[in-house]
């Protein structure tokens, strides 16, 4: 009898979802950060974002401050990353470049996430011809390599910050749509969705109340994993001269600036590239950590 | 080999390609430039100080005053038959010729990259899994983590600096015809970095998964040569997700190629596209995008077919 009592105490706590749900969130974040690698890369990502925001207070130079007497200076105590062909401080430009690179990365991923999720959930929920048409469109978008499609879009729209963000959002929508569609299909087979239908909930309500909360995991993982790719794509476009236009400086613009003088002053290209590397590393690892966190069976590390 | 399955994929590729063509063509229609003005060497946006009569005559000559859909089908027909007329900006060159001379470079870069990525990634992932926790495993993981965070075009610059300037064993850049394979070794290394890193990771994960399954344990328990267990039981099963990923990586590879072609002045389709964009040669740019998409779709199709060759389960599932 006593054994029976202790036995039932455990499972009986589970059905009371109202008690356990609000308490799960902080503990989930805590569990995530308990893995040292997650904590390290989360801190690194925060540090990069902070450096971008605080750029004007970190460096004594202006990002377009020209000093023709100090052209192509190698790294030194006064210029930690050296100077470029106009004597501009490379570290300063890397810090300011982070603002544009991160801005483009965050906004293009956010737009792609919202649009892609909308397309994916609607395709899964409505099904039939709507699903077919949307998925064929996604197939077409995915049949052109992302960077090539982005190049074509920016070339048509004319290179500018906004147009780069638009192009990079367009090429990512398809991935978010596919992932959310797949995940929504799984969720829609659950009893609580049928129950919602039976009691007469509207489609938008079922999507927002039942489907979306249950597919947030894969969406967040995809957004984080793809963030590195998004800033790489921006850098690639800008490097090729069809992205952010000088005098605005993203990391891609800086690497292109240094390309001219690669053999005389390699640091002008090397350091912005390293910044890109560290940022991609931090967000890739964070994404991997999140994936393991949401789906421990996919653990690869 | 389920022939009908391959045929089905092939047939599905046709409407997709048509859709891509339409997308690319309509994108071009949105472009602010006036091809007639560009052909006359005028300022591409406003038409500048063009004599309206002259501009009109040029439009007439280029067939620009015909309806959009008629021009679209003309272009698509020209693309499929290989007769696309002359480039507007460089009238001496035919558009098909520009594509055909660039195509081999793109194909060699793409397949070379896939080959290198597989030849590096699979052995590294295999060793990493077999000697789990050892020094090889540790190194392989560092390489794969760093590799997937390395910006492709920047890595190309670094390779160029080190292996073409500081220690000049490869050319600084230039055409395949002039330097032979030496011209593409650095570009391939640069583009292969990402897919190789990913394949290493997946091979390791897949092998660890397969090696812990019952059938591998049985194979080992009945005294099979460990090498046979690793290769025949392990790798063959681990290969399946890897092939899927090579397909997914293809877009990244072909995108990376564009920038790397620019760095090494290799005249592949990416460079053709970029130059056309710089010169506002709309017609060539559209055709280049469609050619790249065609290569992309065809290679993806090949990867799909490979998938059926390697996984016998898919074959039986389809023929049933």
pLDDT at B306: 78
pLDDT at B48: 54
Q: With 80 as the cut, is the pLDDT of residue A27 above it? A: no
Query: Distance, in angstroms, between B11 CA and closest chain A CA?
Result: 14
DSSP B297-312: HHHHHHHHHHHHHH-H
Q: With 80 as the cut, is the pLDDT of residue A273 above it? A: yes
pLDDT tens for each residue of A228-247: 999 999 999 999 999 898 88
Tell me whether residues B154 and A235 touch, CB distance under 8 A.
yes
**Closest listed residue to residue A260, CA positions, set A38, A98, A85, A127:** A85
Q: Testing the interface with B: which of A41, A136, A140, A145 to mutate, by most B Cβ within 10 A?
A: A145
Q: Considering the entire predicted model, what is its pTM?
A: 0.86
**For chain A, how big is the Rg over CA atoms in Å?**
24
pLDDT tens for each residue of A126-136: 888 999 899 88
The residues pairing with A89 across neighbouring beta strands, listed in sequence order, are A83
A:B CB pairs within 8 Å: 141
**Closest listed residue to residue A155, CA positions, set A145, A144, A163:** A163
* Cα–Cα distance list, A178 to A87, B152, B154 (Å): 47, 26, 30
Sign of CA dihedral B204, B210, B212, B217: negative
Q: Which of A146, A157, A259 sits opposite B251 (nearest CB)?
A: A146
**Closest listed residue to residue A152, CA positions, set A231, A228, A230, A242:** A242
Q: What is the mean pLDDT of chain B?
A: 82
pLDDT at A17: 46
Q: What percent of chain B has pLDDT over 70?
A: 90
Q: Cα A293 vs. chain centroid, distance in angstroms?
A: 17
Q: Tell me how crowded residue A290 is: count the other CB atoms within 10 A of its CB.
A: 21
Q: What is the mean pLDDT of chain A?
A: 84
Q: Testing the interface with B: which of A147, A272, A287, A299 to mutate, by most B Cβ within 10 A?
A: A147
Distance CA A197, CA A21 (A): 23
Distance CA B49, CA B37 (A): 10
A30, burial (CB in 10 Å: exposed 0-12, middle 13-18, buried 19+): exposed
Tell me whether residues B255 and A277 touch, CB distance under 8 A.
no
| Most confident stretch, A45-49, A55-59, B63-67, B278-282 | A45-49
B309 touching A (Cβ < 8 Å): no
In degrees rounded to 5, what are phi and psi of residue B94?
Answer: -85, 145
Tell me whether residues A239 and B296 touch, CB distance under 8 A.
no
Nearest C-alpha in B relative to A136 = B16
A133 touching B (Cβ < 8 Å): no
């Amino acid at each position: 009898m006593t054994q029976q009592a202790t036995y039932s105490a455990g499972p009986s706590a589970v059905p009371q979802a109202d008690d356990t749900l609000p308490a799960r969130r902080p503990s989930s974040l805590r569990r995530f950060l308990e893995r040292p690698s997650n904590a390290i890369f989360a801190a690194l990502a925060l540090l990069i974002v902070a450096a971008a925001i605080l750029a004007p207070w970190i460096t004594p130079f202006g990002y377009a401050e020209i000093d023709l007497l100090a052209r192509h200076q190698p790294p030194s105590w006064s210029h930690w990353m050296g100077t470029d062909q106009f004597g501009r401080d490379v570290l300063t430009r890397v810090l300011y470049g982070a603002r544009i690179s991160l801005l483009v990365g965050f906004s293009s991923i956010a737009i792609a996430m919202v649009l892609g999720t909308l397309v994916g959930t609607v395709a899964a929920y409505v099904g039939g011809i709507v699903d077919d048409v949307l998925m064929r469109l996604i197939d077409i978008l995915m049949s052109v390599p992302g960077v090539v499609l982005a190049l074509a879009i920016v070339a048509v729209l004319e290179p500018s910050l906004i147009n780069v963000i638009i192009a990079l959002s367009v090429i990512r929508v398809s991935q978010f749509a596919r992932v959310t569609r797949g995940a929504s299909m799984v969720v829609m087979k659950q009893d609580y969705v049928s129950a919602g239908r039976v009691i007469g909930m509207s489609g938008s309500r079922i999507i927002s109340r039942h489907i979306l909360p249950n597919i947030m995991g894969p969406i967040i993982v995809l957004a984080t994993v793809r963030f590195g790719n998004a800033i790489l794509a921006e850098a690639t476009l800008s490097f090729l001269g069809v992205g952010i236009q000088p005098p605005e400086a993203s990391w891609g613009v800086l690497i292109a600036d240094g390309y001219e003088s690669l053999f005389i002053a390699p640091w002008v290209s090397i350091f912005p590239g390293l910044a890109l590397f560290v940022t991609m590393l931090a967000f890739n690892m964070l994404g991997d950590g999140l994936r393991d966190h949401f789906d421990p069976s996919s653990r690869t590390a | 080999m389920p022939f009908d399955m391959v045929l089905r994929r092939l047939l599905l590729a046709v409407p997709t390609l048509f859709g891509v063509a339409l997308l690319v063509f309509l994108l071009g229609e949105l472009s602010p430039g006036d091809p007639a003005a560009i052909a006359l060497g005028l300022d591409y946006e406003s038409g500048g100080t063009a004599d309206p009569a002259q501009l009109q005559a040029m439009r007439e000559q280029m067939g620009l005053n015909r309806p959009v859909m008629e021009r679209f089908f003309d272009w698509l027909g020209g693309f499929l038959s290989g007769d696309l007329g002359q480039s507007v900006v460089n009238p001496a060159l035919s558009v098909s010729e520009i594509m055909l001379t660039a195509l081999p470079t793109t194909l060699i870069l793409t397949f070379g990259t896939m080959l290198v990525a597989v030849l590096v990634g699979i052995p590294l992932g295999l060793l990493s899994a077999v000697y789990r926790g050892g020094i090889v495993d540790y190194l392989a993981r560092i390489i794969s983590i760093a590799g997937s965070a390395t910006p492709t075009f920047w890595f190309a610059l670094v390779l160029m600096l080190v292996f073409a300037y500081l220690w000049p064993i490869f050319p600084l850049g230039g055409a395949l015809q002039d330097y032979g394979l030496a011209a593409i070794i650095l570009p391939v290394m640069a583009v292969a970095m990402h897919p190789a890193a990913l394949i290493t990771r997946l091979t390791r994960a897949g092998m660890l998964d397969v090696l812990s399954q019952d059938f591998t344990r049985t194979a080992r328990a009945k005294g099979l040569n460990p090498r046979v267990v690793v290769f025949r039981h392990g790798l063959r099963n681990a290969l399946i997700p890897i092939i899927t990923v090579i397909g997914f990586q293809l877009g990244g590879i072909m995108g990376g190629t564009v920038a790397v072609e620019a760095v090494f002045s290799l005249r592949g389709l990416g460079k053709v596209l970029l130059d056309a964009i710089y010169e506002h040669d709309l017609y060539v740019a559209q055709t280049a995008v469609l050619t790249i998409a065609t290569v992309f779709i065809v290679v993806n199709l090949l990867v799909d077919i490979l998938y059926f060759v390697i996984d016998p389960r898919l074959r039986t599932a389809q023929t049933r």
